[in-house]
Amino acid sequence: MNAPSSPPPNDPAPDGRPPDLLRDLSGPEDLKALADESLPALAEQIRAHLIDKVSAVGGHLGPNLGVVELTIALHRVFSSPRDTLLFDTGHQAYVHKILTGRQHRFDSLRQPGGLSGYPSRAESAHDVIENSHASTALSYADGVAKARALGGAGDRAVVAVIGDGALTGGLALEALNNLGSAPHRPVVVVLNDNTRSYAATAGSIPAHLAALRDGTAGGNLFEQLGFAYLGPVDGHDIGALQSALRRARATAGPVVVHAVTQKGRGYPPARADQAERMHAVGVLDPLTGLARTAAGRTWTDVFADHVTELGARHRDLVAITAAMPGPTGLSRFAARFPDRFFDVGIAEQHAVASAAGLATCGAKALVAVYSVFLNRAYDQVLSDVALHRLPVTFVLDRAGVTGPDGPSHHGMWDVPLLASVPGMRVAVPRDAARLEELLGEAVDDREHPTALRFPKAAAGPDLVALARTGPVDILFRSTVHEVLIVAVGPLAAECLEAGRYLADTGIGATVADPRWVLPVPRELLALAARHRLVVTVEDGIRNGGVGAAVARSIADTGLHVPVTTMGLPTDFLAHGARADILAAAGLTAKGIVHTVLCARADRPHPRP
């Protein structure tokens, strides 16, 4: 007997339920074929799909729930990939992935080998850029539009979707300045205005957007910059959005479509929690929005508690973040010391230069950002802080391997960058107790710029040192000094296990944690001189990292001790579990032992 056939995609199911509009949606052309009256049902099905899939594996939930209707309208009016759709930031592109035929892969979202949590050029021709960093899409749009004009393809639309939070970034303002000065070059800027980035959007630009929303603005910034302006438009009214986008497409020059949306739309736990918790989530109970498993006390939690204690002890301590007070651990500090906390918006360069200004007046400025986002402010770290020998402290969350956020978020580059900054001191805590200790030392340092880095992970148990020489902690030592394992921060536990195993097999090992890894402590060099081999282990890139600094310092002092460096390759590593990525790089106790054994077999006999 033949199985009953499925109902056509636009017809109701036999029991009266609305049709499954997502089932056969293989791309934008299928979306365009749907009747207008079916689009609200499609929007609700997309939201249900997002809640179901993201709650099971984790990901960016709130931002995507807010752009469902907007993304439907974009793909109804424009013809991707012929027309170029750019998403800034990429974490609001889940709906775009669904509408371009990837809805059946969401079970693998952010899993090893699975669907990326951001646009991915390898996944689809509809993904043009795969960055996840805010404020960049407008500059990409400027370049794409110039290329289209030069290639005689000016009829291919260029659309950049940018959030109001990302509009606070300096790069976005630079791009607006250039886009608005070219009235002959059509670019559609879709402003997704939900009044939030992670937290509430900060600065005068959101105040102007609020005035545009309520009709009280005395002027229009976008029109003054040379853009046509359409809006405000209800970002959840597909008909109104399509109408505005069609008008924008027909406009000869640059145009802004101001869409007002609600982050977390359609999901009560996300709407009730308009703070940061529902921006990016782990595995959830979809009914309650509560985490299914407790994460344990994270490195960020430890920092959050201790920086608040330091704020009580140091009345001149000022904390700065770039739009992420919660994720960087500064929310408690902000609540207790509101006059000494500044959220500058998505503007890392300004955060660092402003900290330099504070420091010139005697304040102790602390800048807390994700490790990978410090890359954006390298010039300010170098030329505005270090050149003036200002004691600004940088706290770098999400350092090393971040896991499911993938190549754009791994905090792998900070140590090589900071190693090139004159006078910079860098600390890497191995456990919660050392984080508190080193943070206190950094705040007390009034002569040098300092940096403290830690990963996105549970802090784990404290590892008590056997002894301390200068800043260097000895975690393990054999009676025979043959191999010195230099444990950098959170990899100390793996190094300690490796050292004990080597000792049990008759290979004398010492495990040392420098705590302050840059500049390389002279006490660590003295320790290296008493060993036949040095092996450094870190969760940043090997090229220019702590190991490279140790090897260079040993050579500079005239020691003839071979150094083997272990770390991450200089590559953009795919998303996956942090433990799996570290294991693939050999950064486990087993991998360390293997490296030591290979290095011992190949090493030349040291000079007497």
Give pLDDT tens digits for 493-532. 999 999 999 999 999 999 999 999 999 999 999 999 999 9
| Position 142 pLDDT exceeds 80 | yes
Strand boundaries in 55-187, DSSP class E: 59-60, 84-88, 158-163
Q: How far is CA 160 from CA 91, 116, 326, 528, 580, in A?
A: 14, 20, 28, 54, 35
- Work out the pLDDT band at 608, boundaries 50, 70, 90: very low
Residue 396 to residue 577: CA distance in whole angstroms? 20
Q: Do residue 185 and residue 310 come from a single domain?
A: no
Same domain membership, residue 361 and residue 433: yes
Secondary structure in 3-state letters for 378-432: HHHHHHHHHCCCCCCEEEEECCECCCCCCCCCCECCHHHHHHCCCCCEEECCCCH
In a shared domain, residues 239 and 315: no
79 in the same domain as 224: yes
Q: Of the residues 254, 281, 308, which one is the last residue of a structural domain?
A: 281
The alpha-carbon radius of gyration of the chain (Å, integer) is 27
Q: Is the pLDDT of residue 359 over 50?
A: yes
Domains in the chain, number: 3
10 domain residue, yes or no: no
Q: Which residue among the candidates 76, 185, 196, 263 is catalytic per the annotation?
A: 263
Told to judge if 309 belongs to the known catalytic residues of this protein, a careful annotator would answer no
Question: How do beta strands 280-281 and 341-343 pair?
Answer: unpaired
Q: What is the CATH number of the domain that holds 268?
A: 3.40.50.970
Is 481 marked as a binding-site residue?
no
Q: Is 462 annotated as a binding residue?
A: no
First-to-last CA distance in the chain? Answer: 87
Question: In sequence order, what are the residues at sequence separation of 6 or more whose Cβ sits closer than 8 angstroms to the Cβ of residue 502?
Answer: 483, 508, 509, 593, 596
* pLDDT of res. 196: 79
Mean pLDDT of 311-331: 96
Domain contains 20: no
Reported as a single tens digit per residue, the pLDDT across 104-113 is 999 999 999 9
pLDDT per residue as tens digits for the range 192-212: 999 877 677 878 999 999 999
Q: Which of 148, 376, 453, 456 is catalytic?
A: 376
| Per-residue confidence band for 590, with pLDDT thresholds at 50, 70 and 90 | very high
pLDDT tens digits for range 304-316: 999 999 999 999 9
* 311 and 427 both lie in a single domain: yes
Catalytic residue flag (residue 434): no
pLDDT, tens digit, 9 for 90 and up, residues 408-424 = 899 999 999 999 999 99
Instruction: Decide if 459 is inside a domain.
Output: no
Q: Which of 130, 276, 348, 538 is catalytic?
A: 348
378 is in an annotated binding site: no
606 has a pLDDT exceeding 80: no
CA–CA separation, 161 vs 95, rounded Å?
Answer: 13
478 and 501 share one domain: yes
User: Is 410 known to sit in a ligand binding site?
Assistant: no
- Nearest 5°: phi and psi at 476? -160, 145
**Is 229 labelled a binding residue?**
no
Pick from 564, 307, 305, 567: which is nearest to 414 by CA? 567
- Among 453, 478, 495, the domain boundary falls at 453
Considering the domain architecture, whether residues 242 and 337 belong to the same structural domain is answered as no
- Domain membership flag for residue 7: no
**Judgement on whether residues 267 and 308 belong to the same structural domain of the protein:** no
Q: Is 376 a catalytic residue?
A: yes
Confidence of residue 133 (pLDDT cuts 50, 70, 90): confident
* Three-class secondary structure of residue 598 per DSSP: helix
Three-state DSSP at 219 gives coil
3-state secondary structure of 306: helix
Looking at the structure, do residues 448 and 471 belong to the same domain, yes or no?
no
267 known member of a binding site: yes
Whether residues 248 and 366 share a domain: the answer is: no
Q: What are phi and psi of 283, to 5 degrees?
A: -70, 130
- Joined together, the tokens standing for residue 25 give 């949606």
- What DSSP element (H or E) covers 561? none
Within a domain: residue 460?
no
Do 150 and 237 reside in the same domain of the chain? yes
Residue by residue, DSSP assigns 35-83 as -GGGHHHHHHHHHHHHHHHHHHH-EE-HHHHTTHHHHHHHHHHS-TTTS
- The structure tokens 């960055």 sit at 131
Is 607 part of any domain?
no
Range of the domain at 310: 299-453
Distance CA 309, CA 299 (A): 16
CB-based contact 253:185 (threshold 8 Å): yes
* Domain edge (last residue) among 453, 480, 499: 453
Residues 339 and 393 in one domain: yes
CATH label of the domain that carries residue 515: 3.40.50.920
pLDDT above 70 for 344: yes
